[in-house]
Structure 1
């Protein structure tokens, strides 16, 4: 028999998530499932990679995230048998990216902490709160402060630049008000021509032509817009500048935000000379 006593059980930690839900988690958690790609990357960048036992098939960063952990399905279709086998002591999800029925089913069995993010402020709060949740408060605080500082250094544009940001094709769908992408457009200095609408409206070619944005941004995700689609939008908005953009840097609200400002500055320089 071992002469050493077993480790003490994890102490419970009670926190309120960004949905206002009270969550009791064994602290520090040892078996974490992440249901959101950007939060998976955040956990790894906070040094928690070895404790992340489950991820989704969309968790592309870091490159080996899906090799180090069990893939439990997509963000909106969980494999509950795989999740049960993992015996998680913490599941981290998101209001928009996950689905209510699945989250409720998991929350009946496990601690589930949810983020709810529409702005940079929400994202910074999430990073700090996840740091507390997983026992990496100092590193999360430092990361959030660095991201906040980088955005503060992004100088305003010398003139307003109207933009449309598309996330889907057939039908065309754009990012509008009350989305994280809309806030990122504002942070980058663009004026969203579809901001008067809500969330992700379908946009007709006629509506796009009438909005007459100076810049049309075609996201690399969730629809994989590519150079071959540029002519299609030029036919609708012949005077606009059409750009394929990295969707992760506009929509991922975790540690990838550390790279967003440099990307926005470079993008702005291509559409507004001498920014």
Structure 2
């Protein structure tokens, strides 16, 4: 806060300075995890537009106008809602849509690539929405959970892990991503961590060559199922790799912000079961 008691001066993750004379009263969110975080912070009544993929929590979002997808938002529709701010993400939203919107409205862009940065995103949104107490309560819970995890004996034994995110072509979680950092916090060592791309294209041959102890198959963005699990298991087993292969909730790996605490608890439970 600066100057006028309600004036907000804040930088987004692209290091762009935003000045608001009062907390934004009309918000459009173009990111499902940010939408959920806005609700967590008690500001859902200020949401005037969300994407087709903003579905949680269902009851809070049922009557809010939809403005298209994360990759194809309806810019004229968004502008017609007269938002005070649009909340976006560098990875999930297209640069051209952000640029088109910010000609007429402030666009606050997030880009967390670690768990710590995810908590910073929550605090930033708390500042922006005048919900700093709610943000502090949540982030302190997450930090306490992280301290507890760091002292867990099970987590101290690294498991070589591959987390796949797509098929045809096969793609995996790579370095400098929120998902990779989240897994690292739970003792899952990313076998694709040495690749340059954040989401490298790979193959099952390369996967087997990297000899993971664990292969994670989340249900988003690609919806891996039991058939995929059996296919991967047969392929790597034939090449002498006896990895543990798990289907899991993808939203806990990729939804930063409000989902971070649940993700830490969910992955810790999985990690303890794996030993």
- Would you say 1:32 and 2:27 are equivalent positions? yes
1:148 Cα deviation from its structure 2 partner? 1.2
1:66 Cα deviation from its structure 2 partner? 4.3
Distance 2:60 2:193 in 1: 35
Cα deviation code 1:34-61 (max 9, x no counterpart): 1111110000011111111111111121
Distance 2:62 2:174 in 1: 35
8 Å CA contact retained: 2:79, 2:101: no
Aligned ranges 1:1-275 → 2 under 5 Å: 12-154=7-149, 155-156=152-153, 157-197=155-195, 198-238=197-237, 239-272=242-275
Q: Which runs of 5+ in 1 are unaligned?
A: 1-9
8 Å CA contact retained: 1:208, 1:236: no
RMSD of aligned C-alpha atoms?
A: 1.5
Distance 2:213 2:6 in 1: 55
1:205 Cα deviation from its structure 2 partner? 1.5
Q: Say if 1:136 and 1:158 are closer, same or farther in 2 by CA, change over 3 A.
A: closer
TM-score, length of structure 1 as denominator length: 0.92
1:85 Cα deviation from its structure 2 partner? 1.6
Which 4+ runs in 1 deviate beyond 6 A? none
Distance 2:6 2:87 in 1: 19
Cα deviation code 1:158-212 (max 9, x no counterpart): 5221110011111110001011111011011111101001201111121011011
8 Å CA contact retained: 2:10, 2:18: yes
1:250 Cα deviation from its structure 2 partner? 1.2
254-263 or 126-135: bigger deviation: 254-263
Distance 1:269 1:120 in 2: 20
SS of residue in 2 equivalent to 1:142:
helix
Q: Which runs of 5+ in 2 are unaligned?
A: none
8 Å CA contact retained: 2:115, 2:260: no
Distance 1:270 1:172 in 2: 27
Distance 1:128 1:88 in 2: 21
Aligned length: 263
Q: Say if 1:158 and 1:81 are closer, same or farther in 2 by CA, change over 3 A.
A: closer
